[in-house]
Structure 1
Amino acid sequence: MSSPSAAPAIRPLSRSDVERLVALNRAAVPAVNDIDEAEMSTLVGQAQLAVAVVDAAHPDPAHPDAVLGFVLALPPGLDYASENYRWFSERGEGFLYVDRIVVADGHRSAGLGAVLYEAVFAAARAGGAAEVDCEVNVEPPNPGSLAFHARLGFREVGRQATKGGSVVVALLAREVAAP
């Protein structure tokens, strides 16, 4: 595992990051759904929080190693076809939904996911959300992600089969304290 040569930093994503985000996302399939540049661009534009964790040694956004990971968190009320987003929407409006969080291969287990989630929790508190919601695959299995989310305080609030039954997800939630 390589690690950044300087402390990671968080920066907002822009549409110019989309190509790199798609590449990182594709490298993480099946832990996340594969999407194309058009859908990624739409999600970045709709997100309440769209940030990257970057290697401070490569601050230039054009540098291919600049983005080590990213998170897209969506507010309630969007017209978004995701079965999981709709499931959480049916529970109420007081959430911030993590649509995808991806850390580049070779940089996992270095604390970057926790750095990204701290940004999500802060955005949820600032936006008045009562909880942060996400899902993790249980079929195909993703035990590492389930353990990671459990360490962050997420609890399972449901399960559902998606994609015509080819994927089963654990639906997870973590309450966020008021600021």
Structure 2
Amino acid sequence: MSIVIRDVREHELDSVLALNNNAGLAILPLDAAKIRRFYETAEYFRIAERDGNMAGFLVGYGSDSEHDSCNFAWFQQRYPSFFYIDRIVVASRRRGGGVGRAFYADAQSYAELRYPQMACEVFLDHGADAALLFHGSFGFREVGQNTMPEVDVRASMLLKDLCSYGWVKETYGENLPDVPWVGHTRRPLAARPTGT
């Protein structure tokens, strides 16, 4: 019954796409090209497994990325350095079972070593109370709203200060220790071993 969070593997992209497109109105649909772009460019692209089955995924970008999301651009225009959660999807049968909390703990552990803030959005037009409560319980606060012009969806723009970042930056600068749990930035696709 444990939850395992690990980097996505290339052969799993079709499963990730299906999971995304079955998630309901709170998540925008994707196509294979967009999933491939996440795989090639996302700083953080991890899946959760529970009982050996894919239970969800989370995609994140650092503020200096060239990500093509209008919500990401909204944060870039207002904040100099942040880690952006583009999307988190949890399989419907796994919701309420701790997968989302495990993802946010893992993403925060990664982000707080590199960024002073973590950003995300919650769509407001499709019954957002549970998602807003979930994010509020993790310390996120609304810093504005944005209407996504291409889909006419209004989003609550959420931000969280990462209190460990200052100490890590002062102590280690850009030279984080080479230990497995630090989870160094994903390598570009060309640098990954074949079959991973």
Same fold (TM over 0.5): yes
Corresponding position of 1:74: 61
**CA deviation profile, 1:103-122 (whole Å, cap 9, x unmatched):** 00111011110100011101
1:98 counterpart letter in structure 2: I
Distance in 2 between residues matched to 1:93 and 1:110, nearest whole Å? 35
Percent of residue pairs identical: 27
- Tell me if the contact between 2:61 and 2:67 (Cα under 8 Å) persists in the aligned partners: no
Corresponding position of 1:106: 93
Corresponding position of 1:31: 26
**CA deviation profile, 1:130-149 (whole Å, cap 9, x unmatched):** 11100001123322111111
Distance in 1 between residues matched to 2:128 and 2:20, nearest whole Å? 15
Corresponding position of 1:22: 17
Q: How many residues are matched?
A: 165
Corresponding position of 1:90: 77
Structure 1 gaps, min length 5: 1-5, 59-65
2:20 counterpart letter in structure 1: N
Corresponding position of 1:161: 147
Aligned to 1:173, the other structure's residue is in SS state strand
Distance in 2 between residues matched to 1:145 and 1:73, nearest whole Å? 18
Structure 2 gaps, min length 5: 169-196
1:92: Cα distance to partner?
2.7
1:166: Cα distance to partner?
2.2
Structure 1 pair 146–79 and aligned structure 2 pair: CA distance change class (3 A): same
- Tell me if the contact between 1:140 and 1:167 (Cα under 8 Å) persists in the aligned partners: no
Q: Which of 49, 52, 60 in structure 2 is aligned with 1:54?
A: 49
- 4+ residue stretches of structure 1 with deviation over 2 A? 77-81, 163-166
Distance in 2 between residues matched to 1:75 and 1:12, nearest whole Å? 16
- Tell me if the contact between 1:71 and 1:101 (Cα under 8 Å) persists in the aligned partners: yes
Q: Which of 130, 150, 159 in structure 2 is aligned with 1:144?
A: 130
Distance in 2 between residues matched to 1:153 and 1:25, nearest whole Å? 25
**CA deviation profile, 1:13-49 (whole Å, cap 9, x unmatched):** 1222111111111111321111111111111221221
1:169: Cα distance to partner?
0.4
